[in-house]
A and B are shown apart, each in its own frame.
Chain A
């Protein structure tokens, strides 16, 4: 019952804070994120979506519509190129759902699934930009200078934020239970 839980407020709030933090952090830490030749793409939104899927327990958050909404905002405001992330964010949620069927939930499996999500997301973005002609980067450079640093920074996010976000969700879910009893 998503509508009755505290997550009704916490999930959208966290989604949009993480979305805008991606942009703000990229600007504030530009020296670190975009020091030549490496460029790291901060993907806190994907992290929030994956965590929400794992920590929601029996509450079913409508992740796909929210992911699409975040995608629209990302397209319009962040990149100015419409039509990519609006489909990619929901795709990543769907991918997480499919992959999670095959593994039990633990820190290591979640980090592995998040790793796969980032690889798929960044690769599809690169491929689409290559087709549309926004970038002319070759595959080798992409793998070494974009994908690898991006994975590194996002896995660091993951390790730092796993327990804090888990405790936020436990807190949000605990509030609901006494009322039900």
Chain B
């Protein structure tokens, strides 16, 4: 039998292995350091993104058709409930407008131009999801040319779902909160305690089995109630204040019993995302 690993084959195999791991390590570290990938990679992404939309748009349309048939079934009961909510919503909306106006005037009085709560939104639709068990990542159809920058927070429907991890000219990648990599879910959050105190903290982990976000190292002694709403705190620059994250589900002690750990149930379902909103600090 012929020797399988002849000298030439072995050399080629080693070269391929080196190239493979070199490229992988290079692109992983590049991704963490740079704001945008190299131009050629962006270019490739843009072209492929264009071709992808040819496949993605029909698939999304078909899925939209199926889900609208499904929704038709419970239209009647939903409609009754929603009608009640609409009357309340109109009131809230008017009040909201008045408050926003007042807020603006007061800010002018104080000569405060911008605060952490000001942000604009960019709406994008999801083109595809990485078919991988280890990367919880979406590709959306807006990019640099629409004003998207790396690390901007991404929301879907009811709450925060992740952050922008790679920006190309016409599309970008979103890392979901449920991703296990180290940088995906580090969001600065704030929670109102029951006695007027607030707790500030940083999301440090995601528990996949319960679907909960974990805020580690909370040293504040403020009392937190189950079900309290959690928002981003706006500290750290890129992320505006007041984006809804989820609700507190339970409070525990950390491994050494010194600090508190707060568990948060995210408001958005990260497995059911079609349209996303990217928040851009004003």
* B261 interface residue (CB < 8 Å to A): no
B44 touches A78 (CB 8 A): no
Cβ 8 A contact of A83, one of B24, B126, B272: B24
B48 touches A23 (CB 8 A): no
Count of A interface residues, CB-CB < 8 Å:
49
A22 touches B131 (CB 8 A): yes
Distance in angstroms from B129 CB to nearest chain A CB is 4
Distance in angstroms from A33 CB to nearest chain B CB is 8
Bound: A77/B56 CA distance, A: 14
Nearest neighbor of A88 in chain B, beta-carbon distance:
B20
Nearest neighbor of A42 in chain B, beta-carbon distance:
B131
A36 touches B209 (CB 8 A): yes
* B278 interface residue (CB < 8 Å to A): no
Residues in B with CB closer than 8 Å to A22 are: 131
Bound: A39/B134 CA distance, A: 9
Cβ 8 A contact of B129, one of A26, A37, A129: A26
A83 touches B23 (CB 8 A): yes
- The interface stretch among B135-143, B144-152, B252-260 is B135-143
A77 touches B133 (CB 8 A): no
Nearest neighbor of A134 in chain B, beta-carbon distance:
B134
* A28 interface residue (CB < 8 Å to B): yes
Residues in B with CB closer than 8 Å to A87 are: 16, 19-20
Count of B interface residues, CB-CB < 8 Å:
51
Bound: A44/B208 CA distance, A: 27
B27 touches A83 (CB 8 A): yes
B129 touches A23 (CB 8 A): yes
Cβ 8 A contact of B126, one of A27, A128, A134, A150: A27
Residues in B with CB closer than 8 Å to A145 are: 133
Known: A17-B55, A30-B271, A82-B24. A43 touches B41 (CB 8 A): no
Best-surrounded residue of A31, A42, A132 (most CB of chain B within 10 A) = A132
Best-surrounded residue of A30, A36, A126, A146 (most CB of chain B within 10 A) = A30
* B128 interface residue (CB < 8 Å to A): yes
* B194 interface residue (CB < 8 Å to A): no
Distance in angstroms from A87 CB to nearest chain B CB is 5
Q: Kindly identify, within residues 58 to 99 of chain B, every residue whose CB is under 8 Å from any CB belonging to chain A.
A: 59-60, 63
Bound: A73/B46 CA distance, A: 11
A20 touches B128 (CB 8 A): yes
Distance in angstroms from B68 CB to nearest chain A CB is 14
Distance in angstroms from A156 CB to nearest chain B CB is 15
List 16 interface pairs A-B (beta carbons < 8 Å), by A numbering: A20-B128, A21-B59, A24-B127, A28-B59, A28-B63, A30-B129, A33-B131, A76-B44, A77-B49, A78-B131, A78-B139, A80-B137, A81-B31, A87-B16, A136-B180, A145-B133
Residues of A within 8 A of B (CB): 16-17, 20-28, 30-31, 33-37, 39-43, 72-73, 76-84, 87, 125-126, 128-129, 131-137, 145-146, 150
- Contacts A37-B209, A129-B134, A137-B180 supplied; 7 other A-B pairs, CB < 8 Å: A20-B51, A28-B59, A73-B48, A76-B48, A77-B45, A82-B27, A146-B133
